[in-house]
């Protein structure tokens, strides 16, 4: 039996599994997070069993998809961890720090957050968090979460040879497509929590400054629920559903309006292995960068929407169900003194000028 223990906000999480691949995935991303003691959340993942593969956590036991058991188990682990959050906000953002100030880089998956974060870390800023950024609701201070950075090939491409050598040397796992780089190996964060001095909302070429609306999703249906494709096709606002020939459980859903699809995903989350928003265009780090100021309310709205999407069914989601404007107002209050910018990232050196200007700007 493999075991991994790591810190999670006010307590610890302990994961036990009979599967080496699952334990390796959890270990490479989480075992750099110290376990401080306190309340313990325990999980057990059984994949090597003559019976159904199962995930067991504080909320009970769940069967796992036999086609993608590791992927499914990890998503359930993250759902439960995020669902336990109450006194903190956990934003889908990377965070860098300098002199007690923190910068959040927010955007969808595969959109450049990690690419920009690793460039800033290589310039000497502290990497406080990658992908999951924790902010205390009571104080507005950002708490470092030293989970390993998951560095995909796309994030490594813009690095010059010297930068790539540094990352290769510090990577905890540098084989295969994904590298795990512990934040402290680049530059350890300071001991005190940082205040949020800036928020960057990433945009792609062709997008405007208004709130992003995702029109395409990739959905992985749970084994035995492939018939749900007909339900999805019949939802208002759905324009097209493409089914992967070799994997009928994997769908690409294009919409004119994704509101009804989002509601379906919320109500049927137990029938879905994963749902991923697809940006219309990937980031282009070869063109010109552009930045436009936005208000704290818009930044708060985008952070809140993404947080609720990832924490559906959580204590936080239940607290603000039907009161989403109160959540946005609370987040906006934490950002009153922060610089909030929409960034269309181009060449890294140009984008970094804007980001460094926020971290090293007035008040630094």
Q: What is the CATH number of domain 89-214+279-364?
A: 3.90.228
Higher pLDDT, 74 or 347: 74
Q: What is the mean pLDDT of the chain?
A: 85
Structural domain boundaries in the chain: 2-83, 89-214+279-364, 216-277
CB atoms within 10 A of CB 4: 21
CB atoms within 10 A of CB 81: 20
Residues, the chain? 364
Q: Is the confidence at residue 169, as pLDDT, over 80?
A: no
pTM across the whole model: 0.87
Strands 101-106 vs 88-98: parallel, antiparallel or unpaired: antiparallel
Tens of pLDDT, residue by residue over 326-364, are 999 999 999 999 999 998 888 878 888 888 888 887 655
Higher pLDDT, 35 or 230: 230
Average pLDDT over residues 96-117: 86
Q: Given this model, what pLDDT does residue 214 score?
A: 72
Q: Is the confidence at residue 174, as pLDDT, over 60?
A: no
Q: Given this model, what pLDDT does residue 179 score?
A: 74
Q: Determine the topology of domain 216-277 in CATH.
A: Alpha-Beta Plaits (3.30.70)
Specify whether the CB–CB gap between 142 and 193 falls below 8 A. Answer: yes
- How are the residues of the chain apportioned to helix, strand and coil, as percentages rounded to the nearest 5? 30, 30, 40
Q: Given this model, what pLDDT does residue 192 score?
A: 64
Which of 128-132, 168-172, 229-233, 339-343 comes out lowest in average pLDDT?
Answer: 168-172
Tens of pLDDT, residue by residue over 34-58, are 888 788 999 999 998 777 899 999 9
Number of Cα atoms under 13 Å in the Cβ half of residue 125: 28
Structural tokens at position 179: 């590298």
């Amino acid at each position: 039996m493999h075991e991994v223990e790591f810190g999670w906000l006010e307590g610890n999480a302990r994961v036990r599994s009979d599967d080496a691949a699952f334990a390796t995935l959890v270990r490479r991303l989480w075992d750099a997070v110290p376990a401080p003691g306190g309340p313990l959340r325990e999980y057990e993942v059984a994949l090597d069993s003559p019976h159904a593969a199962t995930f067991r956590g504080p909320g009970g036991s769940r069967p796992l998809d036999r086609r993608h058991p590791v992927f499914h188990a990890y998503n359930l682990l993250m759902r439960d961890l995020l669902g336990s959050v109450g006194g903190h906000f956990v934003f889908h953002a990377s965070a860098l720090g300098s002199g007690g100030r923190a910068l959040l880089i927010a955007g969808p998956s595969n959109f450049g957050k990690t690419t920009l974060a690793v460039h800033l870390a290589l310039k000497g800023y502290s990497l406080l968090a990658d992908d999951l950024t924790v902010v205390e609701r009571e104080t507005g201070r950002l708490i470092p979460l030293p989970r390993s950075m998951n560095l995909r090939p796309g994030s490594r491409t813009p690095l010059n040879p010297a930068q790539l050598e540094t990352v290769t040397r510090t990577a905890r796992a540098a084989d295969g497509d994904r590298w795990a780089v512990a934040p402290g190996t680049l530059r350890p964060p300071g001991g005190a929590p940082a205040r949020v001095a800036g928020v960057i909302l990433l945009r792609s070429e062709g997008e405007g400054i208004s709130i992003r609306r995702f029109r395409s999703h990739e959905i992985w249906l749970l084994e035995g629920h492939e018939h749900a494709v007909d339900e999805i096709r019949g939802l208002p606002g759905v324009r097209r559903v493409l089914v992967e020939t070799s994997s009928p459980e994997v769908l690409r859903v294009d919409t004119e309006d994704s509101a009804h699809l989002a509601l379906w995903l919320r109500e049927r989350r137990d029938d879905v292995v994963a749902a991923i928003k697809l940006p219309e265009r990937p980031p282009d780090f070869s063109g010109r960068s552009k930045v436009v100021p936005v208000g704290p309310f818009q930044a708060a709205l985008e952070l809140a929407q993404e947080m609720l999407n990832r924490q559906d069914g959580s204590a936080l989601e239940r607290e603000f169900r039907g009161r989403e404007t109160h959540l946005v107002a609370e987040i906006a209050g934490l950002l009153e003194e922060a610089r909030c910018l929409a960034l269309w990232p181009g060449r890294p050196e140009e984008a970094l000028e804007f980001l460094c200007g926020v971290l090293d700007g007035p008040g630094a």
